[in-house]
Structure 1
């Protein structure tokens, strides 16, 4: 069983349905579901870099199983582009981990690897700006 606590007004997506907490709310999930808390949800306008686009597309694959094959095709293209731009060994290792998680159908776990890739991308962007 998974317990999730949502603050008043916080949103979560459960199997594609958007829920909003009214007051502090605890949810006990007793079976297998696709669930994202509000802070894990990326809006389309936030997908402004290759790593963020990868996260957004993986998120869609996770919460939109009806269109998962289309999202997976997009993921393949995006991960290829990202590998070409991130040259640090740690970043490439994170790309491999992400790809492995996606191949295993572990979409939620892949989102964690994608957040790591966003961090690597941010470091590269900051270094280029300096």
Structure 2
């Protein structure tokens, strides 16, 4: 059993269905579902970099929308991201993410992917400052 409190207007995705709280709400989930809260949800328009596309594909695979297609996209995006990681720590984060996804643990993979987004942003920041 999982108890979730939602603020007014907060989004929630359950098994691919987008819900939005009207007023302050509390839900009790009594069975296993694929669930994402507002801050964990990424729109296609927000998938503007390799790590963000990786997050989006992982999110879609987790929610069960055409999982094989999104699993292939996860592999493709990870293949593009690994060479960009310029530190051992960044490459190790890629390996942690890949292990979680290979085990089918997409939800924890999303958390690991948020770290990859931070690494990618850090790598890109000096390049953007030089431009």
Check conservation: 2:3, 2:26, Cα contact below 8 A. Answer: yes
Is residue 2:2 matched to residue 1:2?
yes
Q: CA deviation at 1:30?
A: 1.6
1:36-76 per-position Cα deviation (integer Å, ceiling 9, x unaligned): 0111111111111100010011011011x251011001111
- Please provide the CA RMSD for this pair: 1.0
Question: Residue 111 of structure 2 aligns with which residue?
Answer: 112
Runs of 4+ in 1 over 3 A off after TM superposition: none
Tell me the SS of whatever aligns to 1:45: helix
Q: 2-side partners of 1:129 and 1:48: how far apart?
A: 15
Question: Residue 43 of structure 2 aligns with which residue?
Answer: 43
Question: Residue 30 of structure 1 aligns with which residue?
Answer: 30
Give structure 2 stretches of 5+ with no counterpart. none
Give structure 1 stretches of 5+ with no counterpart. none
Map 1:91-102 → 2, pairs under 5 A: 91-102=90-101
Tell me the SS of whatever aligns to 2:9: coil
What's the TM-score once normalised by structure 1's chain length?
0.95
1:82-104 per-position Cα deviation (integer Å, ceiling 9, x unaligned): 00111211111111111111111
Map 1:115-130 → 2, pairs under 5 A: 115-130=114-129
What's the TM-score once normalised by structure 2's chain length?
0.94
Q: 2-side partners of 1:26 and 1:37: how far apart?
A: 13
